[in-house]
Amino acid sequence: MIIQTKSDIIPSEITPQEVFDDRRKFLQQAGFGLLAGSAGLLVKPLEAAANAAGDLAQLKSRANSPILKLPAYSKTQYGAGEKLTSFEDVTSYNNYYEFGTAKDEPAINSKLFKPQPWTVSIEGEVKKNKTISIEDIYKLAPLEERIYRMRCVEGWSMVIPWVGFPLAQLIKWAEPNTNAKYVEFISLADRQQMPGVNMPILDWPYVEGLRIDEAMNPLAIMAVGLYGQPLPNQNGAPMRLVVPWKYGFKGAKAIVKIRFTEKMPLTTWMKAGPNEYGFYANVNPQVEHPRWTQSSEKRIGAGLFAGRIKTQMFNGYTEQVGQMYAGMDLRKNF
Amino acid sequence: MQAWIYAKTFRLALMLAFISKVPDRKQVTRLKVAVFSLCLIPLVRLVWLALHDDLSANPVEFVERSTGYWTLFMLLTTLSLSPVRLLTGRTWQLQFRRMLGLFMFFYACLHVTAYLWLDYSFIWPDIIKDIVKHPYVLVGAAAFMLSLPLAVTSSNLMIKLLRERWKKLHRLVYLIAVLGVLHFWWLVKKDIREPLLYALILAFLLLVRVYCKPKAKAASK
C-alpha cells in the first residue's frame, strides 16, 4: 500500500536527478568505507569520501544550486590586535562529530553538504511557532565581523574572525513569552548528508542550550560566516552559535531549531559525560576537567615549540559576562 | 589506516612463520637490518613532516599521537612473536623480540619527550598536576616508568646476571601493555573504535598464551 501525503516541497528545491544519482554514488562509497571500518580494519570512510569529493566542483556546477552569498558586513572593535588563526587551520581542524570524530574529517566529509535551502524553526515558550529561512536570517540584523578567541575543552584555542549578528536580535524576533528561561539549540542530524550521525557516538541530534540572559548577552552571536565568507560547511554552515566565554562545544552548528523552555535543557554532552561536561561550560582555569588541563592551552598555529599559554577566566571576557554569574558556585555549576 | 598497518604486519609475520624455512644466521642478520630500518620509518616521517610544516593544525598533538601510536604498535608487535611460536611452533622470530621491544621503548621516549617538552615546555608543576589529576596521563606515566627497568636490563650481560629473576621482571611487559591500551582508551572522548581494536588485539595475544601454553606442556609429557 502506498500512503500518499501532500508534498510541501516547492519545485525549485527539488534536486536534479543526475545530481541525486551522483550523491548516492558518493554515499555508497562512503558506506563501503564504513563497512570496512566496522570490519575491524578501520579504513576510514573519508578515503572513499575523499575520492567522491574530488568531483565536488564539477558536481556543484552541474547542480547549479545558488550558493549562499554573504551580505555586506561592518567591522567591529572586538578582538582588535589579536593574531588570527589562519583560515586553513580554522577550516581543517574541527570538532564536528556529525561529520566524523577525527579533526580532519569534517572538512572532508562535509564537502557535499547543502546548507541551502535552510529554514530554522522557532518553538516552545514563544508567542507563536514560526520558521525563518537563512536568507531572511541574513536580513534580520546588520551583520558584523567579530574577532573572538575560541577555547576548546580539549585544551586548544583559536582566534576566529566570525561574521554574524547578536543572538539577542534573533531572540527578539522570536518573541519568547515570560515562561522562557532557557534557549535550546538543535542541530541538523541528517543521516544521508552527515556520516557521523549513523554512528551511535552521541545522542543525535546535537543539543546545546543557554540561560536566556546568557543568550541575550551582547557577546553571544549567531555566526553565518568567517573570514568574510559564508560559513564553511565544516564550521557549522549555514548558521552556528558562538559564545566565546564558554568552551567550544557550546557552539551548536547547523542549527535547525531554536526552542525556548522553562526548564534547563539537557544538552548532548551533559548526557554523554555528566561528570565531564556541565550546562554552563564556562571557560574556567580553576575548575579541573577529568581529562584535560584547563589552566593552560595550546594556541593553534603557534608552532611546534610555542608551548602553552595561560587560560583566562571566562576566556578573557569577564568584563562582559562575569556579572551574570555573580554569587554562583562555578565549581558546582561547571 | 594505522590499525591496517598493524593487521598487515601481523598477518605477514604469521605467514612468514608458516611458509618460510628457518633462516640461517646470515639471513637473520640481514632481516635484522631490514626490520631495524623499517622501525625507523615513523621517526623519519615525523622529521620530514616537521621540516615541511605539515604536522596538521595542531603539530604538538600530532607528534604525541603519532609517537604514542608507534609505541603501542611496537609493543603489540613484540607481544605477537610468542603467540606465533605457540600457534606455529616456529621460534626464529623470537630473535627479533629484543629489537622490537627496544623500539617500543624508543618511541615511548619520544612520546614522553614530546609531552614534557613540546606540550608542557618542562614546566614541572604543571606536568605533575597533569599527571596526578588525569587518570589517562597517570596510567601512561606508570607504563613508561615500568618499561624503564626492562630497557635497562635488555643486554645479554643482564640476562646472565639476573637469570630467573630476569624472566620474572620481564613479565612486567604484560602490565605495561594493559596500561598502555588503557592510556589510549581513557584519552579518547567518545569514539572508542581505535583503542577498542588495540584492546582486542592485546586480549587475543594474551589469550593465545593462556590457551596454548598448558596444552603444549600436556603434549610434551
Question: Does B152 score more than 50 pLDDT?
Answer: yes
Would an 8 Å CB–CB cutoff place B55 in contact with chain A?
Answer: yes
- Torsions phi, psi for B93 (to 5 deg): -65, -20
- Of B212, B204, B209, B165, the C-alpha closest to B7 is B204
Least CB–CB distance from A44: residue in B1, B186, B190: B1
Q: Where are the beta strands (DSSP E) in A114-215?
A: 119-124, 130-133, 143-151, 156-166, 182-187, 207-211
Task: Provide the chain B residues 154-213 that lie in CB contact (below 8 A) with chain A.
Answer: 186-187, 189-191, 193-194, 197, 200
pLDDT category of residue B90 using cuts at 50, 70 and 90: confident
Q: CA angle, A118 as apex, A112 and A119 as ends, to 5°?
A: 155
pLDDT at A94: 97
pLDDT at B214: 58
Question: Does B58 score more than 70 pLDDT?
Answer: yes
- Torsions phi, psi for A175 (to 5 deg): 55, 65
Least CB–CB distance from A41: residue in B3, B63, B129: B3
Q: Are A133 and A117 in contact (CB under 8 A)?
A: yes
> Could B190 and A201 be called an inter-chain contact, meaning their C-beta atoms sit closer than 8 Å?
yes
pLDDT at A5: 56
ipTM over 0.90: no
Any bridge partners for residue A182, and if so which? A211, A261
Give the strand pairing for A143-151 and A309-310.
Answer: unpaired
Q: Which chain A positions have a beta carbon within 8 Å of B114's beta carbon?
A: none
Would an 8 Å CB–CB cutoff place B118 in contact with chain A?
Answer: yes
Q: Are A147 and A163 in contact (CB under 8 A)?
A: no
Whole-angstrom distance, CA of residue A103 vs CA of residue B189: 12
Distance of CA A190 to the CA centre of its chain: 14
> Could B119 and A300 be called an inter-chain contact, meaning their C-beta atoms sit closer than 8 Å?
no
Q: Which residue of A has its CA nearest to B55?
A: A304
| Average per-residue pLDDT for chain B | 90
Any bridge partners for residue A309, and if so which? A297
Following DSSP, what letter does each residue of B114-151 receive, concatenated?
IIIIIITTT-HHHHHHHHHH-HHHHHHHHHHHHHHHHH
Distance of CA A284 to the CA centre of its chain: 21
Following DSSP, what letter does each residue of B18-31 receive, concatenated?
HHSPPP-HHHHHHH
> Could B191 and A101 be called an inter-chain contact, meaning their C-beta atoms sit closer than 8 Å?
yes
> Could B186 and A291 be called an inter-chain contact, meaning their C-beta atoms sit closer than 8 Å?
yes
pLDDT tens digit at each of 334 positions of chain A: 455 555 556 555 655 555 555 555 554 555 444 444 444 444 444 444 444 444 444 444 444 444 678 999 999 999 999 999 999 999 999 999 999 999 999 999 999 999 999 999 999 999 999 999 999 999 999 999 999 999 999 999 999 999 999 999 999 999 999 999 999 999 999 999 999 999 999 999 999 999 999 999 999 999 999 999 999 999 999 999 999 999 999 999 999 999 999 999 999 999 999 999 999 999 999 998 999 999 999 999 999 999 999 999 999 999 999 999 999 999 988 9
pLDDT category of residue B148 using cuts at 50, 70 and 90: very high
Question: Does B215 score more than 90 pLDDT?
Answer: no
From B26's Cα to the closest Cα of chain A, the distance in A is 35
Whole-angstrom distance, CA of residue A93 vs CA of residue B52: 18
Number of domains, chain B: 1
pLDDT at A10: 57
From A155's Cα to the closest Cα of chain B, the distance in A is 11
Residues of A with CB under 8 A from a CB of B: 37, 40-44, 88-89, 92-93, 97, 101, 103-104, 154, 156, 199, 201-202, 272, 288, 290-293, 295-296, 298, 300-301, 303-305, 307-308
Give the strand pairing for A255-261 and A240-242.
Answer: unpaired
Q: Where are the beta strands (DSSP E) in chain B?
A: none
Tell me the domain boundaries of chain A.
12-65, 76-325
**Which parts of chain A fold into alpha helices (H)?**
17-36, 45-53, 56-63, 87-90, 105-109, 134-140, 167-174, 212-216, 268-272, 318-321
Report the CATH architecture of A76-325.
Alpha-Beta Complex (3.90)
What's the domain range around B8?
2-220
